[in-house]
Structure 1
């Protein structure tokens, strides 16, 4: 079975793959057994998942690792797909051979193209003082990398990898 994009899941599907754990909590059912409701993510979507008959140890492992290799099945809960996790293996980024940014939504534009656009907009600034201020700020060590990888907001506002770079371009355009 190959890695499935979460946006393609349908009720009745089997799923196997590595996904980013966006959030997870440990709860106790009426029968006294532990279960873990969680949200899994890839670049295409986030999906609720449920691990029944879990344990405190398993939950600690989930909390300590950003990725899960899962096997499970897709059911529907409250009108949306939900993964019932039959097997899981918590994984670090090194174990998974992945970075968290690979699982986050991304800008629709190519990052180098956005960087060129930013440079062009900076060069076109009429006010020398403003241009120098922007150049000085963007020259800070590590800032360009963070611009490429960071969202501008958590939920609504350019909330994807490269979103902060898009936002800065729009601000420079206003200057």
Structure 2
């Protein structure tokens, strides 16, 4: 269990690291000697860093899901003058240990204003059936609470809230 709070990518220096990051890219590859490894790109809201897990097991490959969180222990080292993490151990983090604020991308607009524009557009639809459907969604408080904090599509837009 992590105790010291989030270790931001921008603050990483050569040495030991134990932190939770979001998996941005995950590739299962094989070394020239035929051994499996994972090549990952991990990120938070300050940046991204490459990571390798040598001799990766199938279970570890399943843990490293794009868009998912990963708790890692390892060593930050320089490779061709660029920091990377050599992962010694990895696991799915305790959901309560994830500091979601560390992964939020800053936005350059007022989300409340954008949401009001969306609501205005939905309730003024010319098609009566679509307007009623939109109103049903807008009146569903549980749905709207989840909708307001959900990221946009990961590939077509930006994979963060209001993206």
Measured against aligned partners, the alpha-carbon deviations of 1:106-158 in whole angstroms (never above 9, x if no partner) come to 42455345445x38x94xx9xxxx97228937535146743553337747x66
Q: TM-score under structure 1 normalisation? A: 0.62
Task: Give the superposed CA RMSD.
Answer: 3.8
Write out the 4+ residue segments of structure 1 that deviate beyond 6 Å after TM superposition. 99-102
CA distance in 2, matches of 1:131, 1:67: 37
The question of 1:149 aligning with 2:150 is answered yes
* Higher helix content, 1 or 2: 1
Give the aligned partner of residue 49 of structure 1. Answer: 51
Give the aligned partner of residue 111 of structure 2. Answer: 111
The question of 1:9 aligning with 2:12 is answered yes
| Structure 2 residues not aligned, in runs of 5+ | 138-142
Q: Counterpart of 1:25 in 2: which secondary structure?
A: strand
Give the aligned partner of residue 32 of structure 2. Answer: 30
Q: TM-score under structure 2 normalisation? A: 0.66
Give the aligned partner of residue 133 of structure 1. Answer: 125
Task: Kindly state the Cα deviation for residue 162 of structure 1 after the two structures are TM-superposed.
Answer: 1.0
Give the aligned partner of residue 140 of structure 2. Answer: none
Equivalent residues of 1:18, 1:68 under 8 A apart: yes
Equivalent residues of 2:123, 2:135 under 8 A apart: no
Q: Counterpart of 1:139 in 2: which secondary structure?
A: helix
Structure 1 residues 151 and 14: alpha-carbon distance in aligned structure 2, compared to 1, 3 A threshold: same
